[in-house]
């Protein structure tokens, strides 16, 4: 039987007393600390001691309707000068989340390793448009330092979804018995609900042509997925090259069918019951 995830607690401190302001995030039994800063608050927040430390950071901003967000991963020793430069030169981002060590055990080699690994994970997940160019080569680390950096990365990856940052995770590889089906002209795909969206499994077919009434956002998302290699050319359309997490069942259905779609009625089980019916039956049982 697979191990169950280990329970942990998170503390979020709001220095400014508002939920949409600066956030300082700490996790139980971890020496790291995360700071989430809205862009307009950077000038008044950068004097905090966390900004003077060595760390890795993620710049991000909102995407258009059903488009992929833009993300930039970087590192600094300390992070403050790098963020000041991005404040002046990069336009897309509205927030930054950065990670430092409370005991100052992160060094330049560690954060270069973390930067490289996060960029690689984002490229594999393909859930954002990376503003980075090439993946920087990390400084070679000793076996011990590599273990320390990877341990820090594991904790970062646990914290990121709590901040709404799902750009670095792919669906877990496991056998599913609850797959739902979505089909239409030149479209035939399977998927399932997950904790952060709806996953369409590899091998499914998506329609190549789009109907004229498809929303601009869904059309742009399909183009993004083709560019990223999530959708590859196949007979009469596209094929999913990997398991892929969408923000909702409707977004997943729209990409598969090439038109606007209600995912709660388009996705069905092997008995023809819609996702809506399954959800309603589940709520009744509860």
Condensed to tens digits (0 to 9), the pLDDT of residues 193-245 reads 998 899 999 999 999 999 999 999 999 999 999 999 999 999 889 999 999 99
Contact 76, 83 (CB under 8 A): yes
Residue the block writes with tokens 């430069």: 85
Q: Are residues 14 and 148 in the same domain?
A: yes
Contact 73, 119 (CB under 8 A): yes
Domain-ending residue, one of 138, 163, 188: 163
Q: Are residues 209 and 120 in the same domain?
A: no
**Structural domain boundaries enclosing 30:** 10-163
Q: Are residues 30 and 156 in the same domain?
A: yes
Residue the block writes with tokens 């302001």: 21
Q: Are residues 195 and 266 in the same domain?
A: yes
Q: Are residues 145 and 49 in the same domain?
A: yes
Q: Are residues 51 and 136 in the same domain?
A: yes
pLDDT at residue number 88: 96
Q: Are residues 211 and 155 in the same domain?
A: no
pLDDT at residue number 134: 77
Number of domains forming the structure of the chain: 2
Q: Are residues 158 and 185 in the same domain?
A: no
Q: Are residues 103 and 224 in the same domain?
A: no
Residues of the chain with pLDDT under 50: 1-2, 285-286
How far is Cα 66 from Cα 10, in angstroms, rounded to an integer?
A: 30
Domain-ending residue, one of 163, 189, 205: 163
Residue-averaged pLDDT of the chain = 92
Q: Are residues 136 and 207 in the same domain?
A: no
Task: List C-alpha distances in Å: 85 to 27, 135, 164.
Answer: 29, 20, 25
Q: What is the pTM of this model?
A: 0.88
pLDDT at residue number 281: 85
Q: Are residues 34 and 100 in the same domain?
A: yes
206-235 per-residue burial string, b: 16 or more CB within 10 A, e: under 16: bbbeeeeebeebbbbbbebbeebebbeeee
């Amino acid at each position: 039987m697979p191990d169950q995830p280990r329970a942990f607690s998170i503390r979020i401190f709001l220095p400014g007393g508002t939920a949409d302001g600066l956030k300082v995030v700490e996790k139980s039994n971890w020496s790291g600390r995360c700071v989430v800063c809205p862009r307009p608050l950077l000038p008044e927040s950068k004097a905090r001691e966390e900004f003077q430390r060595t760390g890795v950071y993620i710049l991000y901003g909102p995407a258009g309707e059903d488009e992929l967000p833009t993300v930039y991963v970087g590192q600094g020793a300390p992070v403050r000068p790098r963020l000041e430069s991005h404040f002046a030169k990069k336009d897309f981002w509205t927030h930054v989340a950065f990670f430092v060590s409370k005991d100052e055990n992160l060094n330049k080699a560690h954060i270069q390793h973390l930067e490289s690994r996060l960029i690689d994970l984002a490229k594999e997940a393909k859930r954002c448009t990376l503003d980075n160019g090439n993946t920087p080569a990390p400084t070679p680390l000793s076996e011990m330092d590599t273990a320390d950096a990877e341990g820090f990365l594991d904790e970062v990856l646990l914290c990121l979804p709590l901040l709404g940052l799902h750009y670095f995770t792919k669906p877990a590889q496991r056998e599913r018995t609850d797959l739902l089906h979505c089909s239409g002209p030149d479209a035939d795909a399977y998927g399932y609900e997950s904790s952060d969206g709806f996953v369409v499994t590899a091998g499914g077919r998506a329609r190549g042509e789009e109907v004229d009434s498809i929303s601009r956002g869904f059309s742009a998302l399909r183009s993004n997925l083709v560019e990223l290699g999530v959708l590859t050319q196949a007979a009469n359309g596209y094929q999913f090259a990997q398991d892929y997490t969408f923000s909702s069942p409707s977004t997943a259905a729209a990409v598969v069918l090439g038109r606007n779609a209600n995912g709660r009625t388009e996705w069905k089980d092997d008995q023809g019951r819609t996702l809506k019916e399954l959800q309603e039956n589940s709520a009744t049982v509860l």
